Structure 1
Amino acid sequence: MDCCSYSQTLCFPSPILATTTLLFLTLSSILILLQRRRRRESNTSAGASPPPPPGPTKLPIIGNLHQLAGSSLPHYRLRDLSTQYGSVMGLQLGQVPYVVISSAESAKQVIFAPHGAYWRQMRKISVQELFSARRVGSFRSVREEESANAVDRIHAAAGRVLNFSKLACSVTNGIVARVTFGKKYSGQEEFIPLIEEITKVVGGFNVADLFPALKFLPAATGMRRNLLKLRNEASRLLEAIIDDHRSCRGSRTGGGGDEVDDLVDVLLKLQANGELDFPLTDDNIKAVIMDIFTAGSDTSSTTMNWAMSEMIKNPRTLREAQAEVRRVFGPKGDVDESLLHELHYLKLVTKEALRLHTPAPLLVPRESMEDCEIGGFHVKAKSNVIVNAWAISRDPKYWNDPEEFRPERFIDSSVDFKGSNFEFLPFGAGRRMCPGLVMGMANVDLPLAKFLYHFDWKLAAGMKYEDLDMDESFGGTSTRKNNLMLIPIPYHHDNHALK
């Protein structure tokens, strides 16, 4: 009887016993939570690890992927989440932990973190050998010739609708190809579209990267096969170019006279010297060339495209920029690099385009090699740290009316994009700053000035500047979603009185 009563008590407890049990469990839970809180406070006061970065609630398996689903512009979505959770935000994307930085103060901590020896060597080569001011200056004639060729193509299309976005890509690709290879190669026509395809694939979303433990995913998604195909094709084309350069170098006697070394020549000389801490292999040279095209050409054409888009959208800005270029270069009849430094307003336009349309909105992720602290939060080893440079450049904490295109904001301002102002990081900063900055901007300044000098620009018939869409597309860089279609009208300087 007692046994039966005990069994019934377990299965059908009395209301008094149930209430007592629930009260006991509730009080126990409260005591446990209070104890944990006191322990955390005690640890913090004793100098223990700070808390992890706050972030949205994670789901099993996918983590926070659902928070990014449906967004084709991740920098926008990450900015919105950071507004809610803070400028140092933790996310779990699949199996990979991420920390998203959206403030200048925390970005400074990340950017000045130490680097490996091989990375330091490659950066030294880039800064001192490939993209020094002297080296960039040596390619002045290349920029002027390629820009003049672009002007000729525009004249041929005068009065008709022209794809300005395609033109910007063409002129920057032409400059970068000649600077890198020295001359036009038969494989160059294949190589540039191949680079565009690689940029698109690498810059896109790859689910296999977020679930590294699932070894079958790269093969199952076709990503591995696609990347290997693209890599092998690029390697084949670059191998032929490198071999041709090596053969030409061997046939030279006593230097090349006034001939300017292209970037492949520079890399082959460094390889032959044998004085580097790490040997420079042909594969290393191929990787550098790929970086020059994927980062350099794409960034320059994107910047030129957005600068022109904003000027078309803001006619007063366009008129002022054109008036300046025509005033400075009027007597010369053309634009060259000799007086580009006097185009103060056009430089403001370019800076504002870089601020509002950061070419690489999410700086290249960095993996924390060990536990560290960022912005007062504990970041675990193996976390991927991303700086949302786009969000910082539109933060009202640093900028008045941040969504407005206003080049005049930089008048009498010391803020620049050369790495010392962490609220403005289109090219990174410190040792992580893009080493090709000088080259990249030179590839924008001259063509853009020529286009403004020689032509007036208008939208297709029936369109008003208010109708121009400014939608973005993201694939590593932030480009226009739709091509910029404009009508060039030749400007005849003899028929205008220049002041």
Structure 2
Amino acid sequence: MADLLNLFLWFVTFLACIYSFRLFSVKSSKLPPGPVGLPILGSLFQMGTKPHESLAELARVYGPLMTLRLGFKTTVVVSSAEMAAEVLQKHDQAFAGRSVMDAASPLDHSKWSLGLGQNGPRWREMRRICNSELFTPRRLDSLRGLREQKVQELLLHVREACRGGQAVNIGECAVVTTLNSISNTLFSQDTIGLGSESATEFRALLGDTASALGSPNISDFFPLLKYVDPQGVRRQAAVYIKRFYELFDEIIEKRNELYSTSKVEKKGDFLDVLLELSTKTGSEFKKECIKPLLLEMFTAGTDSGSSTIEWAMAELLLNPKKMETVRLELKQIIGKDRVVQETDIQQLPYLQAVVKETLRLHPPIPLLVPHRADVTTKVGGFTVPKHTEVLVNAWSIGRDSTYWENPTAFLPERFLESDINFKGKDFHFIPFGSGRRMCPGIPLAVRTVHLTLAALIHCFEWKLPEGMSPEKLDVEEYFGLTMRKAVPLLAVATPITT
């Protein structure tokens, strides 16, 4: 026992010495200001369960460029549009690295990943492929019918719920529809069925995977603990990643068999493109890149798209007059005798404003995906050392009264007659980031979210379950890889007949 106690005291002393050295280094390096924090632990306990809110509060004290010590990790937090422009535009190249969580390391997922991979030849080739081969208007237009079909299946499901007098779980429906829309865009097939038991199970798997890949792990803050994985986060993440990889292996194997045994015409979906590119001699895009890329599109694409739909419906149910404005716009442009199509979206400015306002208040990834300084860089008169993690608080920037009047109110009208968009040039509105690490899947996400939301409102009147007033609607957030609604949104639909 005495030997164990001495070992423990030695270990604590060792950590304290490292902490003291790092604290001295931090003070002498002209980092941005920030809280001193506790010995060894730093400001870990100040993060709370909703880090985006905690960091916004701290930024009010320490400024829009702030330093935190989280264990042995130095993190700089950006909380203003001006500082975001410096980091994501002026010094885009310097901050193009990724701070990768330990949970993303199993099966070399982060090594071959687009979202988490480090800036280099392979990452640049993957980004080029996304921009020039996958998310192009021509490619997305060619697969439009598949996505529209998934939305029609959603409407049939909601009509069945209407006949049974059941409330609709908006989040679950949004997950299944978004997932199958993405799945058909990726490899021309559904993954799960609406209302099935597998839908609930698969949504849980998606949520668990997103949480594992996006949740902090103690070994991220104390690197020596990575070897023991004390919370088991990496081991659990490995299970989820493996399950998805096995699913993709099965789909890829069937595709290869189909093309090798028959002369069928290629489907022209994303998988066909990726398989062809992975066989090109000299290309940086290897076959090992395919499954990580598919997994990112599944998890990030489905989670962010479905959460945006659910938050938009929640905000509209809280604001019935704005729901009616959307419905009237749809009635005027679409009429009642045909279904909404993707090509209609450009003629629906108020619907677009609703989506923008939802993304302002509820950005899918409130702190964006963590950046990393690849070189020591001066920002705002301060020094950000090489390998420092950089978090951009898009949630805080989107609610900053400096840029937004009445910032916590849901006011889609603020985007009407405005050219503000989420394409990364308006730094007070960056729900998908900006610069070279900006989300490449925006074109697909925009189509899926707008089409699904428009179809739901065009075909049905919505209200909260009996006995629930808007004041009782729970709008708490759950912080994970994406910011979902903590309590699922249930709503009662009535078909529109006139």
Under a length normalisation based on structure 2, what TM-score does the superposition of the two structures give?
0.84
Equivalent residue of 1:332, what SS?
coil
Q: Which residue of 2 aligns with 1:146?
A: 150
Contact 1:191 1:234 in 2 (8 A): no
Once the two structures are superposed, residues 205-258 of structure 1 have per-residue CA deviations (whole angstroms, 9 ceiling, x without a partner) of 21111100234441x3222322222232222222111111222232453x72xx
Q: Which residue of 1 aligns with 2:6?
A: none
Once the two structures are TM-superposed, the CA of residue 109 in structure 1 deviates from its matched residue by 2.4
Equivalent residue of 2:478, what SS?
strand
1:66 equivalent to 2:71? Answer no
Q: Which of the residues 110, 113, 116 maps onto 2:120?
A: 116
Equivalent residue of 2:278, what SS?
helix
Once the two structures are superposed, residues 163-190 of structure 1 have per-residue CA deviations (whole angstroms, 9 ceiling, x without a partner) of 1111111110111111112124699978
Once the two structures are TM-superposed, the CA of residue 192 in structure 1 deviates from its matched residue by 6.1
Q: Which residue of 2 aligns with 1:318?
A: 323
Contact 1:138 1:260 in 2 (8 A): no
Equivalent residue of 2:279, what SS?
helix
Once the two structures are TM-superposed, the CA of residue 418 in structure 1 deviates from its matched residue by 1.0
Q: Which of the residues 187, 196, 215 maps onto 2:207?
A: 196
Contact 2:180 2:192 in 1 (8 A): no
Q: Which of the residues 276, 280, 303 maps onto 1:273?
A: 280
Q: Which residue of 1 aligns with 2:456?
A: 451
Contact 2:122 2:285 in 1 (8 A): no
Q: How many residues align?
A: 437
Contact 1:191 1:237 in 2 (8 A): no
Contact 2:349 2:416 in 1 (8 A): no
Once the two structures are TM-superposed, the CA of residue 391 in structure 1 deviates from its matched residue by 0.6
Under a length normalisation based on structure 1, what TM-score does the superposition of the two structures give?
0.84
Q: What CA distance in whole angstroms lies between the structure 2 residues aligned with 1:485 and 1:206?
A: 32
Residue type at the aligned position of 1:122: M
Contact 1:168 1:304 in 2 (8 A): yes
> Where does 1:250-265 land on structure 2 (aligned, <5 Å)?
250-253=260-263, 256=265, 260-265=267-272
Q: Which residue of 2 aligns with 1:167?
A: 173
1:125 equivalent to 2:135? Answer no
1:212 equivalent to 2:223? Answer yes
Q: Which residue of 2 aligns with 1:180?
A: 186
Equivalent residue of 2:223, what SS?
coil
Contact 1:359 1:477 in 2 (8 A): yes
Q: What CA distance in whole angstroms lies between the structure 2 residues aligned with 1:372 and 1:415?
A: 29
Q: What CA distance in whole angstroms lies between the structure 2 residues aligned with 1:215 and 1:74?
A: 22
Which runs of no fewer than 5 residues in structure 2 stay unpaired?
Answer: 1-27, 94-118
> Where does 1:55-454 land on structure 2 (aligned, <5 Å)?
55-68=34-47, 71-112=48-89, 113-114=92-93, 115-158=119-162, 159-184=165-190, 193-218=204-229, 220-253=230-263, 256=265, 260-276=267-283, 278-281=284-287, 283-330=288-335, 332-454=337-459
Once the two structures are TM-superposed, the CA of residue 63 in structure 1 deviates from its matched residue by 1.0
Q: Residues 315 and 251 of structure 1: is their aligned pair in 2 closer, same or farther, counting only changes over 3 Å?
A: same
Residue type at the aligned position of 2:36: T
Once the two structures are superposed, residues 55-98 of structure 1 have per-residue CA deviations (whole angstroms, 9 ceiling, x without a partner) of 01122110111222xx2111000000011101110001011110
Which runs of no fewer than 5 residues in structure 1 stay unpaired?
Answer: 1-48, 494-499
Contact 2:477 2:484 in 1 (8 A): yes
Equivalent residue of 1:419, what SS?
coil
> Where does 1:453-492 land on structure 2 (aligned, <5 Å)?
453-492=458-497
Once the two structures are TM-superposed, the CA of residue 50 in structure 1 deviates from its matched residue by 7.5
Equivalent residue of 1:273, what SS?
coil
Contact 1:194 1:234 in 2 (8 A): no
Once the two structures are superposed, residues 256-284 of structure 1 have per-residue CA deviations (whole angstroms, 9 ceiling, x without a partner) of 2xx641211110011122252x1412x21
Contact 1:130 1:263 in 2 (8 A): yes
Contact 2:365 2:483 in 1 (8 A): yes
Equivalent residue of 1:214, what SS?
helix
Aligned CA RMSD, in angstroms, stands at: 2.0
Q: Residues 230 and 129 of structure 1: is their aligned pair in 2 closer, same or farther, counting only changes over 3 Å?
A: same
Q: Residues 215 and 315 of structure 1: is their aligned pair in 2 closer, same or farther, counting only changes over 3 Å?
A: closer
Contact 1:456 1:490 in 2 (8 A): yes
Identity of aligned residues (%): 37
Q: What CA distance in whole angstroms lies between the structure 2 residues aligned with 1:186 and 1:462?
A: 33
Residue type at the aligned position of 1:323: L
Q: Which residue of 1 aligns with 2:30?
A: 51
Once the two structures are TM-superposed, the CA of residue 440 in structure 1 deviates from its matched residue by 0.3
